[in-house]
Chain A
Amino acid sequence: MEWIDEALVLSARPHGENAAVVTLLTATHGRHAGLVSGGQGVRAQPLLQPGNVVQAKWRARLSEHLGHYTLDLMANHTARWFDVPEVLSVIASACAVTEASLPERQPMPGIFAGLQALFQLTDPDLWGVAYVKWEMEILRALGYGLDISKCCVTGETENLAYVSPRSGRAVSLEAGRSYHDRLFPIPSFLLGSALWDADAVRQGLEMTGHFLSRHVFAHPHSRLLIATPGDLPRARQRLAEYYHAATRAVAEVAMA
């Protein structure tokens, strides 16, 4: 068995003396693990950073075997963002969410393309917004997509303001007025607005985090990343904390 595919590095964990079990999100083979000989070595470390784009050659005697990877670096997306904490947090979170949520060896070309597009963004201000949209795509691909096209109560398509935490469907401003404190506000950028701030990203992360936690991570594919079913991966929790802190900082400046 042998194939060559383009892939994004999700994680590398030590195995034995020198090797590493590397998990990739490949373009046509889905989330796929394999052994990289010498994966713990100094030369392999820059290659195995989460978010890197690699050309992966996988080889095994039988398809159900773990198999061996030979990797060539195609693009390094992380080094340019070492000084930008929110982008590093997004990269770590996206890789952890992908690893914990996607089933193994099932092609997910939409998720791969979305993640690749996310990692290619050049404006750091866009990363938070793009990440929330990508998580919505993950939910959709796994069968738990949110419907924010029309109000689930009145059917109207205008003045949508909330998402129901139970159904994942939109609720209009008027219909949700009396119980708005139990609904998730829809972030402005999901309603087509070109203006947003850290608080809108925080709202988006809270909303997608709720549905990921409820539907996807209740039965995670990777117990390595999620200690208790229903928890979000720690990298994802830290990303939410980052935007909470950023929102608080903006509010404090406004108060002053």
Chain B
Amino acid sequence: MLSPLEQLIQLLAKLPGLGPRSARRSVLHLLKRREVLMQPLIDAMQNAAEQVKPCGTCGNLSDSDPCPICRDPARQNGVLCVVEDVADIWALERSHAFRGRYHVLGGTLSALEGIRPEDLRIDALITRLNQGDLTEVILALNATVEGQTTAHYVAERLAATGVTITRLAHGLPVGGELDYLDDGTLIAAFQSRRKTG
């Protein structure tokens, strides 16, 4: 039977970015600041566990359903951005690059992890397309074999809806120097080149 202290260390060590050593340091830090840090953290975690749930429309995590993005009347209704995970929504929102709606797939097709098409929220996406007045679906999936295989699969499933399907460009990162880029990025950049002037 583990002591409460050991149990806490073991649980914290399972979090991303933390190992056993950093978990021990964190626990020590929390115990030294019980009132100002530990109790508020317990309350925040309790609240999050009780209140944060996936949005029934887009799959985003929020304490309300529909989530604030789905409720926001200022957003474009005609454009839907399909992402792999909630973290991708956060990244896109940080950039302010997109003002439409989102749809979280919940992963990508993966033979290794056993993720099949029926494990992804593709049917929910088709239902949204059939219900709404969407004109464009942007597939913002990772530039990996699994990400792009999933993008093609989703595009194939959506073909019958008649909606315009686009994907994010692949190529040079901002601030990237040609000399330091890998072959794959350079090839993708050449293939996605566009006319200037």
Q: Which residue of B lies closest to A9 (CB)?
A: B145
Q: Which of B117-168 contact A (CB under 8 A)?
A: 143-146, 148-149, 152-153, 156
Stretch from A89-97, A175-183, A190-198 forming part of the interface with B: A89-97
Indicate with 1 or 0, residue by residue over A239-256, a CB within 8 angstroms of chain B CB atoms.
000000100000000000
Indicate with 1 or 0, residue by residue over B1-33, a CB within 8 angstroms of chain A CB atoms.
000000000000000110100000000000000
- In the complex, are the beta carbons of A85 and B116 less than 8 A apart? no
Does A142 sit within 8 A of B, measured CB to CB?
Answer: no
Q: Which of B111, B144, B152, B183 contacts A96 (CB 8 A)?
A: B111
A130 to chain B, nearest CB (A): 18
Q: Which of A198-256 contact B (CB under 8 A)?
A: 224-225, 227, 233-235, 238, 245
B residues in contact with A85, CB < 8 Å:
149, 152-153, 156
A247 to chain B, nearest CB (A): 14
B residues in contact with A51, CB < 8 Å:
145
User: How many inter-chain residue pairs (CB < 8 Å) link A and B?
Assistant: 76
A23 to chain B, nearest CB (A): 9
- In the complex, are the beta carbons of A78 and B114 less than 8 A apart? no
Given the known inter-chain contacts A75-B183, A76-B187, A79-B185, please indicate yes or no for A88 contacting B148, CB distance below 8 A: yes
Given the known inter-chain contacts A79-B183, A82-B170, please indicate yes or no for A49 contacting B145, CB distance below 8 A: yes
- In the complex, are the beta carbons of B183 and A76 less than 8 A apart? yes
B residues in contact with A83, CB < 8 Å:
191
Given the known inter-chain contacts A17-B19, A227-B114, please indicate yes or no for A92 contacting B183, CB distance below 8 A: no
Interface size on B (CB < 8 Å)?
Answer: 26
- In the complex, are the beta carbons of B188 and A80 less than 8 A apart? yes
Does B35 sit within 8 A of A, measured CB to CB?
Answer: no
B166 to chain A, nearest CB (A): 12
Give the interface residue-count category, chain A. Answer: 20 to 34
Does A106 sit within 8 A of B, measured CB to CB?
Answer: no
- In the complex, are the beta carbons of A92 and B149 less than 8 A apart? yes
Query: How many angstroms between the C-alpha atoms of A233 and B156 in the bound complex?
Result: 21
Query: How many angstroms between the C-alpha atoms of A79 and B144 in the bound complex?
Result: 8
Q: Which residue of A lies closest to B181 (CB)?
A: A46
- In the complex, are the beta carbons of B111 and A88 less than 8 A apart? no
- In the complex, are the beta carbons of A76 and B184 less than 8 A apart? yes
Does A73 sit within 8 A of B, measured CB to CB?
Answer: yes
Query: How many angstroms between the C-alpha atoms of A169 and B9 in the bound complex?
Result: 62
Does B112 sit within 8 A of A, measured CB to CB?
Answer: yes
Query: How many angstroms between the C-alpha atoms of A79 and B148 in the bound complex?
Result: 10
- In the complex, are the beta carbons of A73 and B145 less than 8 A apart? no
Does A50 sit within 8 A of B, measured CB to CB?
Answer: yes
Query: How many angstroms between the C-alpha atoms of A233 and B109 in the bound complex?
Result: 12
Indicate with 1 or 0, residue by residue over A33-52, a CB within 8 angstroms of chain B CB atoms.
00000000000011101111
Does A11 sit within 8 A of B, measured CB to CB?
Answer: yes
Does A13 sit within 8 A of B, measured CB to CB?
Answer: yes
Does B50 sit within 8 A of A, measured CB to CB?
Answer: no
- In the complex, are the beta carbons of A89 and B149 less than 8 A apart? yes
A residues in contact with B114, CB < 8 Å:
224, 227, 234
New A-B pairs, 12, CB < 8 Å, besides A80-B188, A82-B191: A11-B111, A46-B184, A46-B185, A76-B187, A80-B184, A82-B148, A82-B188, A85-B149, A227-B114, A234-B114, A238-B149, A238-B153
What are 28 sample pairs from A and B whose C-beta atoms fall under 8 A apart? A11-B111, A17-B19, A45-B144, A46-B185, A49-B144, A49-B145, A75-B183, A76-B183, A79-B183, A79-B185, A79-B187, A79-B188, A82-B143, A82-B148, A83-B191, A85-B149, A85-B153, A88-B152, A89-B149, A89-B152, A92-B146, A92-B149, A96-B111, A224-B112, A225-B112, A233-B111, A238-B109, A245-B156
> What 9 A-B pairs are tightest by C-beta distance, nearest first?
A79-B184, A76-B184, A85-B152, A235-B111, A76-B183, A96-B111, A80-B187, A79-B187, A82-B148
Residues of B participating in the A interface, judged by any CB pair closer than 8 Å: 16-17, 19, 109, 111-114, 116, 143-146, 148-149, 152-153, 156, 170, 182-185, 187-188, 191
Residues of A participating in the B interface, judged by any CB pair closer than 8 Å: 11, 13, 17, 45-47, 49-52, 73, 75-76, 78-80, 82-83, 85, 88-89, 91-92, 96, 224-225, 227, 233-235, 238, 245
